[in-house]
Amino acid sequence: DAGVTQSPTHLIKTRGQQVTLRCSPKSGHDTVSWYQQALGQGPQFIFQYYEEEERQRGNFPDRFSGHQFPNYSSELNVNALLLGDSALYLCASSPVTGTGAYEQYFGPGTRLTVT
Amino acid sequence: LAKTTQPISMDSYEGQEVNITCSHNNIATNDYITWYQQFPSQGPRFIIQGYKTKVTNEVASLFIPADRKSSTLSLPRVSLSDTAVYYCLVGDPRYQKVTFGTGTKLQVIP
């Protein structure tokens, strides 16, 4: 069973450009969350998708947008890239069903460098 | 959303038991406590989750006192490969924006 996969692994973009990152959730998971992790910091929540809709959003500008497809995979889009967007972008998937809390499974991340 | 406070860093010798405590004074009734481990340039990995008392799995134990205002992650007989950052999270990601703190950087010394 493949866990959470993300692509690409690394990416270098120029300031002002746009980027799309992709995530495939763990089998059986239908909720996908995206996080941004700057060097030396903990992951910061960007948004969460469930049933192809954005369900929750963190304190990120509208330049950050996303999408979830019927097969539960997801994309993160960032427009008008800034140098400060350089970070490790993490995707996490989780199941919605069941009682009690649950664990999120994280992908390996995409390292984005903006020059 | 409950805020968590952890020590910034800890050192331990190989083979020792390590206890990392997390404070979460404003934990809500429905909140769970979850610990993650993260190695450099990798995604966080789930270690253990609990609601109250004690939870144990094959890699760690989680101790939660009756008031639930703190929790302690216990790693038995650490090895060099346990050198990582450990995050304590409080809440339920299904319904809340989950926020990671700065974590505790554990350095295991030979």
User: Min CA distance, A107 vs chain B (Å)?
Assistant: 6
Q: Is A66 on the interface with B (CB under 8 A)?
A: no
- Interface list for B 76-95 with A (CB within 8 A): 87, 92-94
The answer to whether A23 and A33 are in contact (CB under 8 A) is no
**pLDDT > 90: percent of chain A:** 77
Q: Is B44 on the interface with A (CB under 8 A)?
A: yes
Sort residue B94 into left (φ over 0), alpha (ψ -120 to 50) or beta: alpha
What is the distance between the alpha carbons of residues B70 and B65, in angstroms, rounded to a whole number? 7
Binned at pLDDT 50, 70 and 90, residue A101 comes out as low
User: Min CA distance, A71 vs chain B (Å)?
Assistant: 19
Q: What is the bridge-based pairing of β-strands B104-109 and B9-13?
A: parallel
- The pLDDT tens digits for A63-95 are 999 999 999 999 999 999 999 999 999 999 987
Length of chain A: 115
Distance, C-alpha B35 to centroid of its chain? 4
Yes or no, beta carbons of B34 and A103 under 8 Å apart:
yes
**Is A79 exposed, middle or buried (CB count within 10 Å of its CB: 0-12, 13-18, 19+)?**
middle
Handedness of CA A8, A14, A19, A25 (dihedral sign): positive
Yes or no, beta carbons of B44 and A101 under 8 Å apart:
no
Q: Is B28 on the interface with A (CB under 8 A)?
A: no
Of B43, B92, B101, the CB nearest to A107: B43
What is the distance between the alpha carbons of residues B62 and B86, in angstroms, rounded to a whole number? 13
Phi, psi of A84 (to 5 degrees): -70, -10
- The pLDDT tens digits for B35-92 are 999 999 899 999 999 999 999 999 999 999 999 999 999 999 999 999 999 999 888 7
Phi, psi of A47 (to 5 degrees): -165, 170
More confident residue, A18 or B53: A18
- The pLDDT score that the predictor gives to residue B1 is 57
Sort residue A24 into left (φ over 0), alpha (ψ -120 to 50) or beta: beta
What is the distance between the alpha carbons of residues B2 and A101, in angstroms, rounded to a whole number? 15
What is the distance between the alpha carbons of residues A32 and A50, in angstroms, rounded to a whole number? 7
Yes or no, beta carbons of A104 and B98 under 8 Å apart:
yes
Q: Is B97 on the interface with A (CB under 8 A)?
A: yes
Any idea what DSSP says for residue B5?
A: B
Only one residue has tokens 């650490």, namely: B78
Of B32, B49, B98, the CB nearest to A45: B98
Which stretch of DSSP H or E encloses residue B47? Answer: strand B45-50
